[in-house]
């Protein structure tokens, strides 16, 4: 029996499967400050991309709204011009 296997911890480590050792390694790494900073950086990158997508969508909505407002204004101007022409004709008839 080697010196490493003489303690309870050594015996436990020797009895672990490859997957269990990998899980322990990941657990130890994910609890570190380096992992936390890496995770926060990844989260900030994802949030940046999502915000850009949302801003682009908002721009598209604003452009569609502006086009609708313009079309409404053009239609209203046409109707106002027609009504002004009718009003002018009525004034001419009254005079």
Q: What is the pLDDT of residues 49-58, one digit of tens each?
A: 999 999 999 9
Domain assignment present for residue 83? The answer is: yes
Q: How many domains does the chain have?
A: 1
Domain assignment present for residue 78? The answer is: yes
**Predicted model pTM:** 0.51
Domain assignment present for residue 81? The answer is: yes
| Domain that includes residue 56, residue range | 44-95
Domain assignment present for residue 94? The answer is: yes
Task: Say if residues 4 and 14 touch (Cβ distance below 8 Å).
Answer: yes
pLDDT of 4 above 60:
no
Across residues 33-49, what is the average pLDDT? 89
- Only one residue has tokens 């609708």, namely 68
Domain assignment present for residue 95? The answer is: yes
Domain assignment present for residue 19? The answer is: no
pLDDT for the residue 3: 54
């Amino acid at each position: 029996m080697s010196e490493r296997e003489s303690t309870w911890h050594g015996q436990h480590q020797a009895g672990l499967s490859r997957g269990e050792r990998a899980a322990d390694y990941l657990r130890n790494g994910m609890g570190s400050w380096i992992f936390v900073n890496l995770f926060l950086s990844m989260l900030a990158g994802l949030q940046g991309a999502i915000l850009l997508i949302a801003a682009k969508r908002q721009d598209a909505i604003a452009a569609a709204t502006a086009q609708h407002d313009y079309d409404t204004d053009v239609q209203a101007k046409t109707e106002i011009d027609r009504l002004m022409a009718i009003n002018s004709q009525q004034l001419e008839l009254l005079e």
